[in-house]
């Protein structure tokens, strides 16, 4: 695992954008895994500002979507991907895959999503955020390491945290469709991003704690190619492990 600690959100954006751009320049037909949430926003803004990389041949898979929402609903992750990734980077809609939160048969839609990832040759680089409770995508504590794309209930903590994006807390959906931890671990390179003091404990557990379903993000320790980029506040509790984990500043 490579751990990169940067000063703040802008530096996190620049460092992560560099990893993504390098991947796409090496293989313009790369398959990227897209995370939503506030943490990756500076990353996508940097990618859009960098005219030196052509993203038009890349294929993208979003990690998750709320059940009951889909683009163009402003809080849907499908709309997030359009607004912050595919639109600014000029990636055609047919190259963008988001789990279908409106499907009549959600189970079928989950199976189809897994088949689409496989048909694309798997994910080359998976961008990940981390929840305050250590969730990855919407894999809440208790999710199985081998889990695949499925419908999940959202924890009270996650609904509270995500209420900031909705007009009122009761309009936060109660369920989501999420790639499973097993789906995420199948990507060839994981890029976990964390910023802000509210992520410090989750980052510490993910990087340095035991691998446990209590902290879903701890499964990254099982993966052979992981880059964690955290700002100083999110990395605050990692001080004592810096000697053990290669750290770049
Ligand atoms: C949501 C998403 C996760 C994301 C997390 C953290 O719950 N489903 O994929 O990692 O929020 O988001 P933020 O970066 O806004 O803190």
- Residue among 46, 67, 70 nearest 159 (CA): 67
Closest C-alpha to ligand 1, atom 1: 37
Told to judge if 97 belongs to the known catalytic residues of this protein, a careful annotator would answer no
pTM: 0.94
Find residue 59's DSSP bridge partners: 31
The pLDDT, as a whole number, for residue 63 is: 98
CATH of the domain at 63: 3.40.50.1360
Question: Per the domain annotation, does 137 fall within a domain?
Answer: yes
Which residue has the least CA distance to atom 8 on ligand 1? Answer: 137
- Alpha carbon 100 to its chain centroid, in Å, reads 17
> Given ligand 1 and candidates 35, 85, 231, which is best to mutate, with the most ligand atoms within 8 Å of its CB?
35
Atom of ligand 1 nearest to the CA of 178: 8
27 an active-site residue? Answer: no
Q: State the pairing for strand pair 125-128/175-178.
A: unpaired
The residue whose CA is least distant from atom 10 of ligand 1 is 129
- Answer whether residue 179 is part of any domain: yes
Task: Evaluate the omega torsion of the peptide bond into residue 72 and state whether it is cis, within 30 degrees of 0.
Answer: yes
Whole-number Å distance between alpha carbons of 194 and 246:
17
DSSP letters spanning 145-193: TT--SEEEEPPHHHHHHHGGGSSSGGGS-SEEEE--HHHHHTSS-EEEE
Distances (CA, A) of 208 to 24, 64, 73, 201, 221: 30, 26, 38, 10, 9
Atom of ligand 1 nearest to the CA of 194: 14
Q: Is 129 in the pocket of ligand 1 (CB under 6 A)?
A: yes
Total domains in the chain come to 1
Q: Which of 94, 83, 90 is closest to 28 using CA atoms?
A: 90
Does 209 fall in a domain? Answer: no
Q: What is the pLDDT of residues 120-154, one digit of tens each?
A: 999 999 999 999 999 999 999 999 999 999 999 99
Asked if the structure places residue 39 within a domain, the reply is yes
Furthest-apart CA atoms within the chain: distance in Å:
51
> Residue 91 falls within a domain, yes or no?
yes
Q: Is residue 156 part of a domain?
A: yes
Is 140 an active-site residue? yes
d(CA 179, CA 34): 11
Q: Is residue 248 part of a domain?
A: no
Q: Which of 11, 140, 204, 231 is catalytic?
A: 140
pLDDT value, residue 243: 39
Q: Of 14, 131, 146, which Cα lies nearest the Cα of 64?
A: 131
The counts of H helices and E strands in the chain are 8, 11
Q: Which residues contact 92 (CB under 8 A, 6 or more apart)?
A: 56, 86
Does some domain include residue 85?
A: yes
DSSP class of residue 241?
Answer: G
Q: Are 204 and 237 in contact (CB under 8 A)?
A: yes
Range of the domain at 26: 2-195+226-231
Give yes or no for residue 194 CB within 6 A of ligand 1. no
Mark whether 64 is an active-site residue: yes
Residue 248 has a pLDDT of 43
Residue ranges of the chain with per-residue pLDDT less than 70: 239-249
């Amino acid at each position: 695992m490579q751990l990169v600690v940067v000063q703040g959100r802008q530096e996190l954006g620049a460092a992560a954008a560099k990893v993504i751009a390098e991947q796409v320049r090496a293989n313009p037909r790369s398959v990227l895994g897209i995370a939503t949430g506030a943490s990756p926003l500076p990353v996508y803004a940097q990618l859009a500002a960098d005219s030196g990389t052509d993203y038009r041949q890349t294929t993208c898979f979003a990690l998750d979507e709320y059940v009951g929402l889909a683009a163009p609903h402003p809080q849907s992750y499908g709309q997030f991907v359009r607004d912050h990734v595919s639109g600014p980077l000029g990636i055609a809609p047919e190259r963008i895959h988001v789990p279908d939160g409106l499907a009549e048969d959600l189970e079928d839609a989950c199976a189809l999503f897994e088949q689409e990832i496989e048909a694309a040759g798997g994910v080359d680089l998976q961008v990940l955020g981390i929840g305050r409770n250590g969730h990855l995508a919407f894999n809440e504590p208790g999710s199985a390491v081998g889990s695949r794309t499925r419908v999940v209930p959202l924890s009270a903590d996650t609904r509270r945290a995500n209420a900031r994006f909705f007009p009122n807390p009761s309009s936060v959906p109660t369920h989501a469709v999420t790639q499973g931890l097993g789906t995420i671990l199948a990507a060839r390179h994981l890029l976990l991003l964390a910023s802000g003091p509210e992520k410090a404990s989750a980052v510490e557990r993910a990087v340095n704690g035991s691998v446990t379903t209590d902290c879903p993000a701890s499964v990254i320790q099982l993966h052979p190619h992981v880059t964690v980029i955290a700002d100083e506040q999110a990395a605050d509790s990692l001080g004592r492990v810096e000697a053990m984990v290669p750290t770049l500043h």
